[in-house]
Amino acid sequence: MVGAGLSVGQHCVDRYGMAEVEQWYWEVWNESNAGNGKGYWGGTPAEYQNLRLLRRRRAPRHSNAKIGGADSAGAGGQWSRNFIQHCLTGNNSATGQVGAPLDFFSFHAKGTTPIMYQGLDPKEPKHLRMGLGGQLRAINDGFTIAASYPQTKPLPIVIGESDPDGCAACTSNALRAYRAAPFIRPTPPRASRANSSSPTAWA
């Protein structure tokens, strides 16, 4: 897995140039907290950390690459906090030292499955309702986690998948309208204010 990641990185450098690639944000694995070892990541949290550290360690030519994490499903809760704490004070299995670089903090913010909502008047046609509330709660929770550590509060925040439903591209017509709304550049409550965010969509 480490070798595959390095090959992709080298291909990007060859195609776009080092100066361009060093401006990109790189994730090591997608939603490694999902599925309790049966989802996208089949290993343990410690094995995920080891993979992340080895990729950085074995890529000296890409030493300025921005590598963050942990691209969790949702804000990640305690899993994201454990990840950050490991980066701050954990044993670095690649160097034998304490702590590991973290260039940005990232998570996913998804709503719930869309439903056809019937208004008070049963004669009125149903309309599609997406789970915008769930998406905004995840955004707030992610910013709160980042802001709770002095070391991560100033870091860039990347909302790797920011969508009003969990299905992403299943309802493309409705998604166009939802994504045109101001929440695509969400501002978290003042109490949890961290650094600026860069939201992207799954689809």
Q: How many domains does the chain have?
A: 1
Q: Is residue 14 part of a domain?
A: no
Q: Before 34, cis peptide (omega within 30)?
A: no
Q: Is residue 49 part of a domain?
A: yes
**Tens digits of per-residue pLDDT, 26-43?**
888 888 888 665 668 888
Q: What is the pLDDT of residues 114-161, one digit of tens each?
A: 666 666 777 777 777 777 788 888 989 999 999 999 999 999 999 988
Closest C-alpha to 192, from 152, 163, 164: 152
- Rounded CA separation 45/29 (Å): 12
* DSSP letter (8 states) at residue 109: E
Non-local (6+) Cβ contacts of 33 within 8 A are: 41, 45, 70, 72, 73, 76, 79, 80
Whether residue 60 is contained in a domain is answered as no
With 0-12 / 13-18 / 19 or more C-beta atoms within 10 angstroms meaning exposed / middle / buried, residue 49 is: buried
Q: Is residue 138 part of a domain?
A: yes
- Does the residue 91 lie in any domain? yes
174 in any annotated domain? yes
Domain carrying residue 79: 25-55+65-115+127-199
Scan for tokens 């499903």, then name that residue. Answer: 73
- 187 within a domain of the structure (yes/no): yes
CA–CA gap between residue 118 and residue 113 (Å, rounded)? 16
- 140 falls within a domain: yes
Q: How confident is the model at residue 104 (pLDDT cuts 50, 70, 90)?
A: very high
CATH number for the domain harbouring residue 175: 3.20.20.80
Q: Using the Cα atoms of residue 90, residue 96, residue 42 and residue 71 in order, give the sign of their dihedral.
A: positive
Whether pTM > 0.85 for this model: the answer is: no
